[in-house]
A and B are shown apart, each in its own frame.
Chain A
Amino acid sequence: MSGEVIHMNCKEFEEVLHDLDRPGTHGFDLDLREGALLHAEGCSHCAQLMTESESLDFSLHALALRDDVLLAPAHVEAQLLNQFRQHRDAVSSSRSRWRLVALATAAGVLLAAAGSFHHWSFSGMGSGAGSDSGTHMGSQPGTNGTVNNISGSTAASNVGNVGAAESTSGAQGAGSEYASAFVPLPYADDPSTLEGGMIVRVSFSQPALASLGLPVTDLGAAEQIPADLVLSEDGTPQAIRLVSQTSANQ
């Protein structure tokens, strides 16, 4: 309260009339109330309005007091408590169910991971010890055949899998045939993407083999060397393995 008298007209009076003494509004200001009272003293219309407004306040207050004792019937509370218990039980069982589902999912994921790890490690061993067993070609699986400096690798094992699927095209039936592991060619795609490839038996001259990056030094230049080529779906050679000439001729 500043003590300054606020002068207002009828419009301003009506603006603040309904907020007078209302907490949280500008009408709660004592100066404003004094100003309104001052205006009402000199304006009969506003004085009557103020009286009626205060009367309305009183009546509304009386109404609020009278209705203060009104409560919802007891059966509403009883029904709500039942509903609350049911909801709580439903939520609780739902949570248990979700926990079980989460556990089962986690167990499944673990099993799948373990399975794929097992498969991976098994095939990893296969690339070293039995890549050629997948080709059903040799009586001595794992041998590098006549080309000693071509060793089995993961890539070779992968293409070896292709070979397993496609071995009928080349080496099936050649019971004593020896073959090296597949070696990816320098420009080949990632061997892991080699799905659905095809193996073809071809004969290479030594220079041709050398151009593919195979160090074949023991053979005569004119000699044709049989080899299996893995072709991708678009026909591009992806890997090569040498087949023992002697065995192939048998």
Chain B
Amino acid sequence: MTPDNEFEHKVYVTNRFKRSFKSLSEDVQQRVMEKVQELAMGHITGKPLVGKYKNLKRIGKYRLIYGEKPCVIYLYGIKLRETAYI
């Protein structure tokens, strides 16, 4: 058992993830943070990408991309669906 605020998995943050996170509004940052916490606690899992990127998964509306290894969550990046497209 881990203390309440301690993660099950160690979280690795990439430069890309950090940069994308900073560009988000506070509200979205909060939601992404909650999602990362759930991931780090091992409560949720995403859908794998394809080809040789199957080791990466996407989760949530904000399309958080992450990798999973034993005891480690690697936060690759956030791919918001670009509203500019629409």
Q: Do A and B bind each other?
A: no
